[in-house]
Structure 1
Amino acid sequence: MLKVKLFSLMPFLISCLFLSGAEWKVDPQKSVIIIPGKAVNPVRSAALELQKHFRLITGKEVSVQEGGKAERGIYPFYVGIIPEEDRNTLAPEEARWNVAPSGTYIYGEDFTPAKKGTRFNPDDIFRKGTRTGTFFGVSDFLEKQFGVLWIEPGDDGIIYTPDQFLTLKTGSGSWNPGTLFQREIRSGMNWNYYKRREPDLPPEFHLSKQEFDRKYRDVMFWLKRHKMGRSRVIRYGHAFTQWWDKYSKTHPEFFAMQKNGRRELGPGLKPDRSKLCVSNPAVHERIVADWLESGAPETINVCENDSGGFCLCPACRRLDVPHPGEEFGTHLTDRYVYLANQVQRLAAKHRRDVSAVFYAYSCYREPPRREKVDPRIIIGFVPSMLEYEKVAGMFAAWKKAGAEKMFLRPNDQHVNTGLPMGFEKLLFDHFQLGIRNGIVGSDYDCMHNCWPATGIADYILARAHEDPSKSFGYWEKQYCSAFGGVSAEIMEYYRYWRNEVWDKRIAGNRDAILKRGLYGIFRRGLMWDIHKYYHPDDFDKTDAILRKAWKKAGNEKEKKQVADLMNANRHARLNYIALTAKPEQRLSAGRNLLNFRLKHKDDLNFFWPTVFGVEKTFGDISGTLIASKLKGFSEFRELPVRWLFQIDRENAGSGEHWEKYSFARIQATWDPVMVNTNWESQTSPHTPEPLKELLKNYDGVGWYAQKIVVPESWKGRKISLYFGAVDESCRVYLNGLFCGERIFTKSDDWQTPFAIPVDLQIDWKQKFQTVVVRVEDKAGNGGIWKPVYLVTE
């Protein structure tokens, strides 16, 4: 992919040059960056990128000039200008540069899709369809000529050697994407998604649009510096999310038949997850008609919507090729290959070079058993790096079925917990497996931006896209070289996590982790059972490695780099302590972790919304969110996690006023359960086995009770019961009196903390107060499943 050759020196001297064989120094104050008149936006961005890095290296500003020539005695850097001697056509996204005493040329193949307005915006290089060969030429030139590396987003992640001059070497270089017409690693940052999750974040971690955009740009520029882009725009992604709203009333026959024989949404599905009747010719024709209405671009998207609810009509079932005894929904690939083939055939009548695009995903990820793939079709293959050998076999079988154009669309980076993990080599090996099988592109979902912990994995994956011919060891060594004189210790640090934790403990327990995580969610299983795979002495040993690096560091930059890793390792230790804390210690551990994050939120390069978001999704497993919520309370008491419980299968409790029972009566007739887990998952030896069996798949009403003591010193203050989470709705009583309720209305209410005021119902004449909570659950897990706190303002 890379070709480098030396040019002979040209007999040209100007005052700003100091020749020394094939190397010389340019005074930045006697140089200029020249771009074409009316340069396209990618060229303007490339010029600013070159200017920025010259400023970092020399501390001086090199001006950007539009059009014209350099004045006598001024060394020119021509950006986006092709030298006359180069008559070779540039391939899409290709980059070239050459350096000579007479001037440096950096140029490439650029394209900007039409947009409203003509005002220059540096962010235009991130727009879909924009090709940025000249920008790639700048990054290639900076690395090859000045040794610049970009190990993480932001200026602190730019590695360079300061110099008062620009030291140049005569020579040339080029880069092109080869067969990878798409190279994409998603940024993991989306403003709309962030705004939906913002209410869950501690307020100190909220971001303004300006703050978010700055972080987003840092990440996107990092990706561009590593030559992420597209030579060709292919349209894919769940294609039919609007169909239900658009066609369900007029064309119900377009949609999947369910078990009841009706064409409707599958159980629990929203309209954007409706499924098609893929055997219906009218569906194929409608897909093509919509494509024609959109201008008949070179690809046509036939990627099915997410989730289940697949069509059960006889015609669709005849497309399937199940093995004897195989459950429906295990293998539906043949029906989706059939759909893609039919759409491909129809669309090709209107545009010969069109390619249908569909996902090999979920229950249609395995190769087809009967259908053959039209070779014009592009397949977005969604494999798992955790199944390396299986995926290797799947590549071969897809090829045998006729697939010639496949791009990787993995979700592999979603194993990321925010802790140091060591999955970087497996991620690399999985990408290389795709390269060996002739993939034409990639789309990785997505970076988590936990740079001190797992940034090495993102770096090596990005570099592998730039030059797939290089080994893992090559890129690992280059990443660690960014730490200068302590590179050996940094390599030892990251290898510890890979060799001792990932390889020896995590990788071999894949099936157990997946089972624990439910529904195949590996990260959830790992975080719920983190104590099995990480040990306290892991942090002791890695701290020792970093202390050794700190003592060896030879300059302030190296010390800062090591200090950042030491803080990241402290964060990992506190995170581990919070994830493994006993119920009575959980809030304290969560507060310690939260306080550390608050102290270091600006100097540790984590994208905190993602870190908190992952923990929230799995039930605030670190306790930081409830610690943040309780921060507004001056005092708190964590209540016992063992409560008394009565199942109410007939929903008779309210009518019989169970909330008014004395605690003595409750204690005599109700059974103990734990409130740090849902009622389906009771494992305590104190809970009777018959009740455990009744609760295993129970949806309905259950009553909880607890006896509490309110400190006398709290009298006259606002007092509440603070529930970590209740699934789904509940009504709260104290001493037989109604205090308040939380009705399940929002999709995440089941995991959201809430407070119910109880100060008006306290009987200060008695020592013990009786709490009774009626919980109603209509689907899935149920009950009080997070600790409860007594709090006061």
Structure 2
Amino acid sequence: MKVLSALALLAIVGAARGGSGEAAMALARMDDRPEAAPAAAVTIVTAAGCPEAVRYAAQELAYHLEKATGHRPPVVDEAQARGLAARLIFLGDTAAARAAAIEGRKLAVETFTVRSTAAGLIIAGRDAPGDPLDLSTSAGTLFGVYEWLERTQGVRWLWPGELGTYVPRAERIEFGRMDVTMAPRFFQRHVRPGLNFAKDLDHPELGFTPAATQAYAQEQQVFLRRHRLGRSYRISYGHDEFKTWWQKYGATHPEWFQLVNGKRGPATPGARFSMCVSNPGLHREIVAQWKKRGGAAAGTLPSFINAVDNDILGLCECDACRAWDGPPPPDKDKYYLPKFKMHGARFVTDRYARFVLAVQQLAAKENPDVTAIGYAYFNYFQPPTSGVQLNSHILIAFSPSAGWYPRFDDEHAWYKAQWDGWSRTGARLFFRPDYFLDGYDMPFIFAHQFADDFQHAVRHGCVATDFDSLTGQWAVQGPTLYLLMRLHTEPDAPVDELLAEYYGGFGPAARQVQAYFDYWERYTMDNRPLIFSAFEDREAMRWRTWAKVPHRIFPDECFGPAEALLDEAAQAARGDREAVARVQFLRDGLTQAQLSVQAARLLTLSDPESTPDRGREAVAALIRFRRAHEREWIGNFDHSAWVEDKSWRFAPETTKTQPAAPLTVTD
């Protein structure tokens, strides 16, 4: 969904991916005769009784046009629109749309058409009943509105909330001439929202107040939909399939479970366990339960069967599983740190590839259209080596067990090569990394390296995404997060063009803001050895105990140059009220990072000299700052507090203790 000038002529052609609900992108055109209308002359038209998704689309269109022009266009139904001397924008399944041979209900799920006609501009898509902000609700008309706003009005959504909504001021509304039918590039576009951290806080005062938590969740969900996150159909997968099976079936079918040191099942009561994935009885039971849930029934949407093992290394030592294994690749341990549990683990990818293939083939006897979902994960992350071939009815979640950014060049190339190896098996792939749990509330920028990773996956067959998770540090990690959003609609666009959109939201301070984030990206990329040694020394985790190490990675002296660059940005923004506010937003994010560094230096569990008394005022200052700024959405304070809970030494009665066994470095 590329932003075009009115003079552009663009053909967007997407290869049809097959399967119900998946459609190719059709031709998109904008000619060299753009049309414009005074804001007061525009009216939005919907059909009487239209779905909630269309009503919401009308609200969103009116809001953004008012933000551009100062005039809010009225929203009327078609009966009221007859005879109006106005420029009309028809939304949804209207008579005008049907007269133009546009029937949204006949389009594929999430697909829309935007077309200029003699009657007016028509935006109509496949719209389902339900909450338009729910990722499972097909909201084609809404997506069409967002596409039109991006293309013709230059709207950008930089971060959640009013301040992050960039709409260029205009006296007239530019329409252009358009004829485009588009479907999302990926059948699932998912960034896990990171909204469940508050329930686990020992120190909720470090996070949002409950009311702010709710408000942030709403603003973020609006933002995610504006970037067209959602799914064409629901797919079910993950580590929950077998969690309770030992309690249910351990006594009657111990052969379905891992054999380790001559014993079936968990090593100790309650411990995690892997399955004996070569066992035919296990395959039959998985298919039987899927069939019982209705998976074998023919329908308009594809059926999926979950073949994802529990969240643990593949450990089974039985002869049948070992017979399914391929030879370990020579670089098996090259990019895993010695303390990481992957280092030295048995290479078991081929058994898991054969497992998902066996489940798919068995299920296909009941429903030929079924797709089996497996993971590339832990010690079955690297691609198969035995020559096993999969097929397009197998969907593999590419979920690296390490590979955090920043990477050295050879390491970065290696991770992309692992994707390529899986792609050559014939399976379809989707990107499911944990990388956006990284960074805490620090100015930790890996924008270009992440984008290169993402675009490599897209060029080599990525069909869906699932990113874990959105920790929402908008004011310090803005460029990386903007790319995460924007690449879902513009996966082939030059990265610096997308970043220019983000920086353009800072108006006259765009150049200085780019210099500010360029500084932090260089700092992040240049300090890869420091970053990794800090986590190794302190036995900290990239996703859970980051707050043990920010003072090691971001010492006080690194902030001075950044502050000077923000001073230059503030000077350049003078006279532009929105630009001034957005630069201040970045400054507030930097202030929080500095306060977090001060608290971490005094309270970290990895420092035996840290005490609650030493850090009491530092924590109080951080809490005061967050209370004063919690409605600005500079970051998800609940996530920051969750990391701090697990990283810092607070009061004696709540002091965390280190586990008996050393923590793995990149768990």
- Provide TM-score, normalisation by structure 2: 0.82
Q: What is residue 198 of structure 2 aligned with on the other side?
A: 194
Q: What is residue 153 of structure 1 aligned with on the other side?
A: 160
Label 1:515 to 1:468 Cα distance change in 2 as closer, same or farther (>3 A).
Answer: same
SS of the equivalent of 1:358 reads: strand
Label 1:274 to 1:463 Cα distance change in 2 as closer, same or farther (>3 A).
Answer: same
Distance (whole Å) between structure 2 residues aligned to residue 152 and residue 224 of structure 1? 12
Distance (whole Å) between structure 2 residues aligned to residue 310 and residue 544 of structure 1? 53
Measured after TM superposition, the shift of residue 240 of structure 1 is 2.0
2:525 aligned with 1:503, yes or no?
A: yes
2:636 aligned with 1:607, yes or no?
A: yes
Q: What is residue 417 of structure 2 aligned with on the other side?
A: 393
Q: What is residue 150 of structure 2 aligned with on the other side?
A: 143
Measured after TM superposition, the shift of residue 426 of structure 1 is 1.5
Letter in 2 for 1:224: R
Q: What is residue 597 of structure 1 aligned with on the other side?
A: 626
Q: What is residue 167 of structure 1 aligned with on the other side?
A: 173
Measured after TM superposition, the shift of residue 724 of structure 1 is 5.7
2:355 aligned with 1:349, yes or no?
A: no
Distance (whole Å) between structure 1 residues aligned to residue 135 and residue 232 of structure 2? 13
Whether the 8 Å contact between 1:101 and 1:170 is mirrored in structure 2 is: no
Q: For 2:384, which of 361, 365, 368 is the aligned residue? A: 368
Label 1:564 to 1:408 Cα distance change in 2 as closer, same or farther (>3 A).
Answer: same
Q: What is residue 302 of structure 1 aligned with on the other side?
A: 307
SS of the equivalent of 1:345 reads: helix
Measured after TM superposition, the shift of residue 2 of structure 1 is 4.6
Label 1:382 to 1:593 Cα distance change in 2 as closer, same or farther (>3 A).
Answer: same
Distance (whole Å) between structure 1 residues aligned to residue 592 and residue 269 of structure 2? 39
Distance (whole Å) between structure 1 residues aligned to residue 368 and residue 576 of structure 2? 62
Label 1:579 to 1:385 Cα distance change in 2 as closer, same or farther (>3 A).
Answer: closer
Deviations along 1:546-599, one digit per CA (max 9) or x if unpaired, are 112212222222211112222222222222222234737433333332332233
SS of the equivalent of 1:595 reads: helix
Q: What is residue 126 of structure 1 aligned with on the other side?
A: 134
Label 1:529 to 1:205 Cα distance change in 2 as closer, same or farther (>3 A).
Answer: closer
Distance (whole Å) between structure 1 residues aligned to residue 538 and residue 320 of structure 2? 36
Whether the 8 Å contact between 1:568 and 1:604 is mirrored in structure 2 is: no
Aligned pairs for 1:510-589 (under 5 A) are 511-513=532-534, 515-516=536-537, 518=539, 521-522=541-542, 527-553=547-573, 554-581=575-602, 583=610, 585-589=614-618
Q: What is residue 399 of structure 2 aligned with on the other side?
A: 382
Q: For 2:661, which of 760, 769, 780 is the aligned residue? A: 780
Distance (whole Å) between structure 2 residues aligned to residue 594 and residue 580 of structure 1? 16
Deviations along 1:676-724, one digit per CA (max 9) or x if unpaired, are xxxxxxxxxxxxxxxxxxxxxxxxxxxxxxxxxxxxxxxxxxxxxx356
Letter in 2 for 1:536: D
SS of the equivalent of 1:202 reads: helix
- Provide TM-score, normalisation by structure 1: 0.70
Label 1:127 to 1:184 Cα distance change in 2 as closer, same or farther (>3 A).
Answer: closer
Measured after TM superposition, the shift of residue 70 of structure 1 is 0.9
Q: What is residue 84 of structure 1 aligned with on the other side?
A: 99
Distance (whole Å) between structure 1 residues aligned to residue 161 and residue 642 of structure 2? 22
Whether the 8 Å contact between 1:379 and 1:406 is mirrored in structure 2 is: yes
Q: What is residue 432 of structure 2 aligned with on the other side?
A: 409
Whether the 8 Å contact between 2:423 and 2:429 is mirrored in structure 1 is: no
Label 1:496 to 1:3 Cα distance change in 2 as closer, same or farther (>3 A).
Answer: closer
Distance (whole Å) between structure 2 residues aligned to residue 556 and residue 219 of structure 1? 24
Distance (whole Å) between structure 1 residues aligned to residue 476 and residue 215 of structure 2? 21
Deviations along 1:348-377, one digit per CA (max 9) or x if unpaired, are 111111111101011111111225132121
SS of the equivalent of 1:522 reads: coil
Label 1:464 to 1:205 Cα distance change in 2 as closer, same or farther (>3 A).
Answer: closer
SS of the equivalent of 1:236 reads: coil
Deviations along 1:225-266, one digit per CA (max 9) or x if unpaired, are 11212234332111223323433344333222232x333223
Label 1:512 to 1:596 Cα distance change in 2 as closer, same or farther (>3 A).
Answer: same
Measured after TM superposition, the shift of residue 293 of structure 1 is 1.0
Q: What is residue 115 of structure 1 aligned with on the other side?
A: none
Label 1:35 to 1:549 Cα distance change in 2 as closer, same or farther (>3 A).
Answer: same
Whether the 8 Å contact between 1:265 and 1:309 is mirrored in structure 2 is: no
2:467 aligned with 1:444, yes or no?
A: yes
**CA RMSD between the two structures:** 3.1
Label 1:22 to 1:203 Cα distance change in 2 as closer, same or farther (>3 A).
Answer: closer
Label 1:246 to 1:66 Cα distance change in 2 as closer, same or farther (>3 A).
Answer: farther
Distance (whole Å) between structure 2 residues aligned to residue 558 and residue 609 of structure 1? 27
Unaligned runs of 5+ in 2: 8-31, 296-301, 333-342, 406-410, 603-608
SS of the equivalent of 2:263 reads: coil
Distance (whole Å) between structure 2 residues aligned to residue 575 and residue 365 of structure 1? 35
Percent identity between matched residues is 28
Measured after TM superposition, the shift of residue 328 of structure 1 is 7.3
Label 1:214 to 1:724 Cα distance change in 2 as closer, same or farther (>3 A).
Answer: closer
Measured after TM superposition, the shift of residue 336 of structure 1 is 1.0
Q: What is residue 25 of structure 2 aligned with on the other side?
A: none
SS of the equivalent of 2:375 reads: strand
Q: For 2:111, which of 94, 102, 125 is the aligned residue? A: 94
Unaligned runs of 5+ in 1: 8-19, 113-120, 630-721, 728-749, 751-776, 783-793
Aligned pairs for 1:325-340 (under 5 A) are 329-340=345-356
Q: What is residue 265 of structure 1 aligned with on the other side?
A: 266
Distance (whole Å) between structure 1 residues aligned to residue 116 and residue 562 of structure 2? 44
SS of the equivalent of 2:193 reads: coil
Q: What is residue 747 of structure 1 aligned with on the other side?
A: none
Letter in 2 for 1:483: F
Report the more deviating stretch, 325-334 or 531-540: 325-334
Higher-Rg structure is 1
Q: What is residue 17 of structure 2 aligned with on the other side?
A: none
Label 1:203 to 1:572 Cα distance change in 2 as closer, same or farther (>3 A).
Answer: closer
Letter in 2 for 1:334: D
Q: What is residue 753 of structure 1 aligned with on the other side?
A: none
Q: For 1:75, which of 69, 84, 87 is the aligned residue? A: 87
Whether the 8 Å contact between 2:595 and 2:618 is mirrored in structure 1 is: yes
Q: What count of residue pairs does the alignment treat as equivalent?
A: 598
Aligned pairs for 1:188-337 (under 5 A) are 188-190=194-196, 193-195=197-199, 197-202=200-205, 205-208=208-211, 211-238=212-239, 239-259=241-261, 261-267=262-268, 269-270=270-271, 273-296=272-295, 298-308=303-313, 310-321=315-326, 323=328, 329-337=345-353
